[in-house]
Homo-oligomer: A and B are copies of this chain.
């Protein structure tokens, strides 16, 4: 099938690779064209000079870029993909962006005779490389049905969760849970150290019970070793928590812990940790405790 992929970052590069490996005829677009040329050299297909040119003649067009403004640029901006979309085709946005933008783009797309599915992913760089991402989708059944077989190239799990925007909202639910688990774990480890315990030994004992979490299992050792280079960066988490809090302001949800953790991440950024991974909330706790 003829498809396009816009945005060859840490996530998009391997995702587009899986599409090629599945035998799709892939056109890629990347802001930095050298990266696109490199992708084509490795995977075949072709690079287009604009998102519009990439989208032209494709049945499904994927994007995975940074923020709302980047999504707007590659869809509606000059040379944006929406101008090149074929009637009946579907645009799939894998960016984690606001639900409001997803709803707006879905409306624009429908008016122009093509489909839109918001489809943020979780699973990180590793999941993208292994083709084992979890994909949370919002859109109509008909548009989802067209996109799903293509996304299967890099999905472990893919699900339609409701109308446009629902994928983004589900991703926020995910980030809120992570915020609580990571800060709880950070306080617990910091408390353990302050109390003179062997924190790793304690975690080993409690990690099969009601305190267990993915974050505990996969991050407590690296946190105790002050290694914060495990993927998803604080600046991206802040973007996501900002979306959560803005959305909650609209829908009336109260997010006290999420708001607090967002402020803690602001402090991590002030410590120079914008590129550290999300488990660096522990670095903040330890900095406070050590007074350094």
List residues of A whose CB falls within 8 A of some B CB: 99, 122-124, 134, 136, 156-157, 159, 161-162, 166, 169-170, 172-185, 187-199, 201-206, 208-216, 218, 232, 244, 247-248, 251-258, 260-261, 264, 285, 288-289
Contacts and interface: CB of A to CB of B under 8 A. Distances in A.
Closest 6 CB pairs of A and B: A180-B184, A194-B253, A177-B211, A213-B213, A176-B188, A212-B214
A164 to B, nearest CB: 12
A198 B137 CA distance: 13
Considering residues A166, A203, A212, which has the most beta carbons from chain B within 10 angstroms of its beta carbon?
A212
Contact of A211 (B178, B206, B211, B258): B178
Nearest to A123: B209
Contacts of A193: 253
Contact of A162 (B194, B196, B264, B288): B196
B212 A191 contact: no
Contact of A170 (B206, B255, B285): B206
Nearest to A218: B210
Given A184-B176, A212-B213, A257-B187, A206 B244 contact: no
A201 B258 contact: no
Given A159-B204, A174-B188, 16 more contacts: A123-B209, A157-B205, A170-B202, A172-B195, A174-B206, A176-B188, A177-B184, A180-B180, A180-B182, A184-B184, A187-B254, A191-B247, A194-B251, A210-B218, A212-B214, A257-B260
B257 A191 contact: no
A174 B209 contact: yes
A34 B175 CA distance: 51
A162 B285 CA distance: 23
Nearest to A220: B177
B161 A191 contact: no
Given A180-B185, A213-B181, A205 B159 contact: yes
A175 to B, nearest CB: 8
Contact of A257 (B173, B184, B197, B289): B184
Contact of A252 (B197, B203, B289): B289
